[in-house]
Amino acid sequence: MTRSFVATGGPKKAAKTVAAKGKSARMYPADDVAVAKASRKGTRAATKVRATITPGTVVILLSGRFRGKRAVCLKILDSGLLLVSGPYKVNGIPLKRVNQAYVIATSTKVDVSSVKVPATVNDSYFAQSKSNGTKSEEKFFDNERKAAVVSDQRKADQKSVDAALLKIVAKEPMLKQYLNAKFSLTKNDRPHNMKF
Amino acid sequence: MVFTRFVEVGRVCMINYGKDKGKLATIVDIVDGNKCLIDGCNTGVTRQIITFRRIALTDLTCEIGRGARAATIKAAWKKGEVAEAWAKSSWAKKLAAKAARGNTSDFDRFKIMVARKQKSKIVAAKVKSM
């Protein structure tokens, strides 16, 4: 006589043994109790920034108004975006947020330990104010383009950060010209073979 | 046409293919018309039989007997100052220059570009004055 399989233990063990042996469980709970769904909150991990990008890395911007220009990465913000500055006097790039995906990290590093970025300069500082939703036709055809106004706060922060940064940039020969120069690919360049 | 580089015991050769590509080794024995035994004890190449297609002969030789073992080869390299003679050769210098160019960073490339522009400016001015 073949020995019949006996599932002992509670419902969890019964389910386990079913999965393991492919036989039906001998123990069923009387009522179907709904199992609470697992919470999906907090499943997103913090953005992992490439190891080659650290505060002080000279970075080549690949898209946007300043594509091709080189800027200094000052810090990595909480959202995972990089805080970058030209310095403004050197190449016109202000304090700006940039996504690491649109950036080539070069191996040139600058010592930014003496550059104090104000604590107020964070993701909410750069967050765009939500438009009021009045996208009427008149506004669309309104030919008067209002010039973008840079707030005094931004100018002040830029000045304070760049004051220290420019001193550091001036120390390294040719770095200032390098930051103002634009990167581009020429005929015999093979970017996958180039060391940045 | 006179040949100067011969396949012979003691000939230093450059490996062109495989995991030891770019390294020097010495021909220790000749197997047949296609293969030889090489040993690169000075350059980290294991003693092996390799086909002539995979090596390129250099101008350098070292004095060893047929089938010499690693210690003898090492001593012969030292005596013949093979490593120094190789480094002085234009072949080695060209390889080194190519490797250096491949290792330039973006900043280095910028500095090189500026230097070339300055040089050509000086040359152009000189040519104009002539």
Higher-pLDDT residue of A29, B9 = B9
Whether residue B25 contacts residue B12, with contact meaning beta carbons closer than 8 Å, is answered with yes
pTM beyond 0.90: the answer is no
Condensed to tens digits (0 to 9), the pLDDT of residues B21-70 reads 999 999 999 999 999 999 999 899 999 999 999 999 999 999 999 999 99
Q: Where are the domains of chain A?
A: 47-123+153-183
Q: What is the ipTM of this complex?
A: 0.71
In a domain? residue B76: yes
| A179 close to B (CB below 8 A) | no
In chain B, how many domains are there?
A: 1
Quickly list H helices, A8-145: 11-21, 88-91, 123-126, 137-141
In a domain? residue B3: no
Nearest to B51 by CA among B77, B24, B82, B27: B27
Q: Which amino acid type is present at position A125?
A: Y
Cα–Cα distance measured from residue B130 to residue B127, given in angstroms and rounded to the nearest whole number:
5
Judged by average pLDDT, the poorest of A55-64, A143-152, B19-28, B82-91 is A143-152
List the beta bridge partners of residue B48. Answer: B38
Q: Are strands A96-98 and A82-85 parallel, antiparallel or unpaired?
A: antiparallel
Question: CA dihedral in degrees (B34, B39, B44, B49; nearest 10)?
Answer: 30
Residue of A104, A106, A193 with shortest CB distance to B107: A106
In a domain? residue B116: no
Q: What is the domain class of A47-123+153-183 according to CATH? A: mainly beta
| A169 close to B (CB below 8 A) | no
In a domain? residue B21: yes
Domain encompassing residue B38: 11-88
Q: How many residues does chain B have?
A: 130
Q: Which amino acid type is present at position A177?
A: Q
| A106 close to B (CB below 8 A) | yes
| Contacts A196 to B, Cβ<8 Å | 105-106
Cα–Cα distance measured from residue B72 to residue B28, given in angstroms and rounded to the nearest whole number:
11
Cα–Cα distance measured from residue A134 to residue A139, given in angstroms and rounded to the nearest whole number:
8
Q: Which amino acid type is present at position B6?
A: F
DSSP label at A41?
T
CATH number, domain of B50, equals 2.30.30.30
